[in-house]
Structure 1
Amino acid sequence: MRPEPFPWARAMAFGLGVLRLSPRDFWSMTPRELACAAEGLYGRATRAPSRDALAALMRAFPDGDQK
């Protein structure tokens, strides 16, 4: 299985458009630095719960009777 290519268009839109970096500053950043900037702005990304965790949440908080 091949890894997904780096999302350059999204990275450029974020760096140049949202952060308003100059092209020089954007291209001098590493992808990790750009990710840290995104985390500083939007917060840390969370992962989806595992199947077991989701099942436990569904047991703890059932939707009730749906008709």
Structure 2
Amino acid sequence: MSGFDWPALMQAGLRGLGLRPDDFWRLTPAELRLLLGNAPGAETRLGRARLDELLATYPDDGVSPRT
């Protein structure tokens, strides 16, 4: 039917990520890949260059976020 390894994906989602079955089945394959950290272009760690980019884009204005 498809090229998905459903047993492995279910194990990764349910055991690895701790998703409930209904949450797992609501995900699209792209969302599951993103949660597992293997989406195209996804970095596994936040490097210094990306941190600097985020700081430049969202500067700290001294205002605490509302909680």
What TM-score does the superposition give when structure 1 sets the normalisation length?
A: 0.52
**Corresponding residue for residue 22 of structure 2:** 24
**Corresponding residue for residue 6 of structure 2:** 8
SS in 2 for 1:6: coil
Number of residue pairs aligned between Structure 1 and Structure 2: 40
**Corresponding residue for residue 56 of structure 1:** none
Q: Gaps spanning 5+ residues in structure 2: where?
A: 45-67
Residues in 2 aligned to 1:27 and 1:8: alpha-carbon distance in whole angstroms: 11
Deviation at 1:5, TM superposition (A): 1.8
How well do the aligned residues superpose, as a CA RMSD in angstroms?
A: 2.5
Residues in 2 aligned to 1:5 and 1:33: alpha-carbon distance in whole angstroms: 17
Give the % identical residues. 38
Structure 1 runs of 4+ aligned residues shifted over 6 Å read none
What TM-score does the superposition give when structure 2 sets the normalisation length?
A: 0.52
- Higher-Rg structure is 1
1:33 and 2:31 are equivalent in the alignment: yes
